[in-house]
Amino acid sequence: MKPFDSNKIKNVAVLGHAGCGKTTMVEAMLYEAGIVTRRGSVEEGNTVSDYHEIEKQRGNSIFSKLLHLQWKDNKINLIDTPGFDDFVGEVIASLRVADTAIMVLNAQNGVEVGTELIWEYTEEFQAPMMFAINQVEHEKSDFDRTLEQARQRFGDKVIAVQYPYNQGTGFNAIIDVLKMVMYKFPPQGGKPEKLPIPESEKAKADEMHNALIEAIAVNDEGLMELFFEKGTLDEEEMAKGMKHSMINHDIFPVFCCSAKADMGTGRILGFIHDIAPSALDVPPVQRQSGKTLQCNPDGPVCLFVFKTISEPHLGDMSFFKVYSGEVKTGMDLVNSVNENAERINQLFIMNGRNREQVNSLKAGDIGATVKLKNTATNSTLFEKGHPYHIVPIKFPAPRITVAVGIDNKADVEKLSHALHALHAEDPTLIVDHSKELGQILLSGQGELHLAVAKWKAENQYKIKFDFYEPKIPFRETIRKPVRSNYRHKKQSGGAGQFGEVHMLVEPYSDGMPAPEGMTVRSHEEVPLEWGGKLVFNNCIVGGAIDAKFMSAILKGIMEKMVDGPLTGSYVRDVRVSVYDGKMHPVDSNDMAFKIASTMAFKQAFQDASPQILEPIYDVEVLVAEDAMGDVMGDLQTRRAIIMGIEAEGHYQKVKARVPLMELYKYSSTLRSLSQGRAKHTQAFAEYAPAPADIQQQLIEKHQKEAQEAS
């Protein structure tokens, strides 16, 4: 394919709920443009876009795919995205580099859950939007109801450009109120015949045409004056106003089609060619410096990596958008993240798994390259001497975490490599080797998300593993002050060991007064890496213990704080004041005082009314109003404290604080309770005392596990 100028490149993300027909629409577009000579189908598993084996098995898109076609004198890059909310990372990355987005709606099902969830991200990115109401050939198609639902959900900016003349099983014609013509399709679909609008539809078409003109004119002062002057706008004026309104998020034009029958997709491509904005038209991208970078074909080279993959038939591949200049093969660029040099040895434009090698790509275009050594998703590559750092994509926090277990311990390194490779491809998959819990944790957006990651690891990296419920990172502290002492004495022939420590162990809180009746000679606050503090006071008077042994005493206390007596969890928020002790001129050493302090601290902790603290999370649930009762009832069973409820568009947002131990697989329960019309986010809030019955259960469980291990 020849190089295209920046103003002739259109980047379009295809969005929508699973099953709305996105992939079928993309396939029809490729066929219309002559990229494929035969249209594949999702049912037969032979579409250009859904080429992964797991996608063929499931009949749904799971990964975003980059495709391209030429329509007249434009190059149109299409990004086919998955419809399940579990794969929202793919949608977000695609929206980041798209200049326009098509939201595909199913004419028989109307506005579905996935549509509403994805819409939030389109609002965040302020992407120019258009709608395509698909499957109007279905016997249960209801275009008017679907259009009305879209207007209810997304506002009056949603306005029809087309409507089906005869929807349902006999569908073969579309009335276009922008061009004021009827398109009639042959039985096999494809290129339609242009006909006058039937007399029976003239009044409806005129009304919709005038509504479209008014919607366009109201957003442009110059067009508004023309409209008042002439009482109408011609097609060229409408096209100019439509583009302006789309860029400003003032109009969301609605089309209709039957992608399966290849009726109407060509007109959508024509609209993209004629009106949809190019990268030169949309607002500039934000840079880390706070400045912006306008798409500029004549500027220094700058490209942004929005996706990486590693597949057996493709190898390691980086997908990028060129934001400035013209990238050419053989170029050396600098990675803004690590300042490493990267050579662009090859450039490709993609159609699913198929790649076509090119020599250059201009600003605004999207392509791929291979074998970049130190470049990952969210990297900016720039021409030496012209440092740019584009603001990285912000991916959503995980909503589910599982522990990963493997039977063959010899394969742990292989497992770790596979999981980290999956994270490199999908930043919404988070891998954590938890030293505290002694588990490998894998976090993602939902059970389906994790199941696909497992499938890919087993099939691509040939490593088998299982998922388990993760342990909870409890904390332990105390509720009352206690004094304790311990003498460590050991004699075995030569030099012995001797150390005696007296300490006051107290619950710590900021601003508490100095220990009563003691003189603090030195004071040390130790921020703990697991949260909270250890405050250590040296209150020795008269040289009972030499100051040189204080560091050993502190070390002994710290070692015991990583293994609390109740559940073996980390200890936090404790103050220890060493106020007396004894030493021996020959036998006292660091080891003796370390052991003495460990035992004295353990004894004091057990007598100081120890308390288990559990992690509490801030949870926000966005839920349709008709599912509120079930969601609220379920939260109450999870020991949730409701912090507030507020309206957000057509949804209710429930804010609650919930113990982490009650949130395992919550995303799946929420999906079931709401029929998919809800989603949640969760973030750590604080540690709080566990209820007495929960604490007793945890202690008994820990004691049982300790006995079984001994």
What is the pLDDT at residue 651?
81
Same domain, 63 and 139: yes
Is pLDDT at 102 greater than 90 in this prediction?
Answer: yes
Q: Which range is least confidently modeled, 142-156, 225-239, 347-361?
A: 225-239
In this structure, are 162 and 191 located in the same domain? yes
In 82-128, the DSSP E strands lie at: 100-106
Count helices and strands in the chain by DSSP H and E runs = 16, 38
Say yes or no to pLDDT of 344 above 90.
yes
Do residues 587 and 682 both lie within one domain? no
303 & 437 share domain:
no
Residues 257 and 160 in one domain: yes
pLDDT score of 556: 96
Res. 471 pLDDT band, cuts 50 70 90: very high
**Does one domain contain both 95 and 173?**
yes
Q: Of 468, 492, 515, which closes a domain?
A: 468
Q: For residue range 511-545, what is the model confidence (pLDDT) as tens digits?
A: 999 999 899 999 999 999 999 999 999 999 888 99
**In which band, very low, low, confident or very high, does the pLDDT at 676 lie, cut at 50, 70 and 90?**
confident
pLDDT at position 501 is 97
Please, what sign has the CA dihedral across residues 14, 20, 624, 633? Answer: negative
Q: What average pLDDT does the chain have? A: 93
Q: Is the pLDDT of residue 221 over 80?
A: no
Q: Is 100's pLDDT higher than 80?
A: yes
Q: Are residues 359 and 411 in the same domain?
A: no
Q: Residue 391, class by beta-carbon neighbours within 10 Å (0-12 exposed, 13-18 middle, 19+ buried)?
A: middle
The SS3 of residue 33 is coil
Mean pLDDT of 436-444: 94
In a domain, 219, yes or no: no
| pLDDT for position 63 | 95
Q: Is the pLDDT of residue 17 over 80?
A: yes
Classify residue 495: in a domain, yes or no.
Answer: yes
* Tens-digit pLDDT profile for residues 593-632: 999 999 999 999 999 999 999 999 999 998 888 899 999 9
Number of domains in the chain: 5
Residues 451 and 484 in one domain: no
Select, from the ranges 308-322, 480-494, 579-593, the one with the highest average predicted confidence (pLDDT): 579-593
**What pLDDT shows up at residue 493?**
65
Report the CATH number that the domain containing residue 29 is assigned in CATH. Answer: 3.40.50.300
Whole-angstrom Cα distance, residue 57 to residue 43?
A: 10
Residues 223 and 213 sit within 8 Å (Cβ to Cβ): no
Residue with the bigger pLDDT between 346 and 626: it is: 346
Checking if the pLDDT of 320 tops 80, the result is yes
Report d(CA 240, CA 246) in Å as an integer: 10
Kindly state whether residues 263 and 371 are assigned to the same domain: no
Residue 604 lies in a domain: yes
Q: Based on the fold, state whether residues 262 and 174 are members of the same structural domain.
A: yes
Share of the chain above pLDDT 90, in %: 82
The owner of tokens 């199913």 is 106
Tell me, rounded to whole angstroms, the distance of Cα 10 from its chain centroid: 25
- 373 and 520, same domain (yes or no): no
Q: Please, which pLDDT band fits residue 675 given cuts at 50, 70 and 90? A: confident
Specify the pLDDT at position 586. 87
- Please report, for the domain that includes residue 668, its CATH number: 3.30.70.240
pLDDT at position 2, please? 76
The answer to whether residue 705 is domain-embedded is: no
- Res 218 pLDDT > 80: yes
Query: At a CB cut-off of 8 Å and minimum separation 6, what does 710 contact?
Result: none
Inside any domain, residue 218: no
Evaluate whether residue 224 is within a structural domain: no
Give the pLDDT of residue 311. Answer: 78
Tell me what the mean pLDDT of segment 457-469 comes to: 93
Nearest partner of 473 among 601, 616, 639, 573, judged by Cα? 616
Residue 654 and residue 674: Cα distance in Å, rounded?
14
Whether 508 and 602 share a structural domain: yes
pLDDT at residue 3, as a whole number? 79
Is residue 319 predicted with pLDDT exceeding 90? yes
Domain boundary among 608, 632, 650: 608
- Strands of 359-455 (E only): list them: 360-362, 366-370, 380-383, 400-405, 430-434, 439-444
Could you read off the pLDDT of 322-337 as tens digits, one per residue?
A: 999 999 999 999 999 9
Q: Is residue 709 part of a domain?
A: no
Where is the domain boundary, 608, 635, 653? 608
The answer as to whether 109 is a domain residue is: yes
Cα–Cα distance for residue pair 82/19, rounded to 1 Å: 10
pLDDT at 407 over 90: no
Range of 445's domain? 400-468
Bridge-based pairing state of the strands 610-624 and 678-689: antiparallel
- The enclosing domain of 562 has a CATH number of 3.30.230.10
Mean pLDDT of 30-55: 93
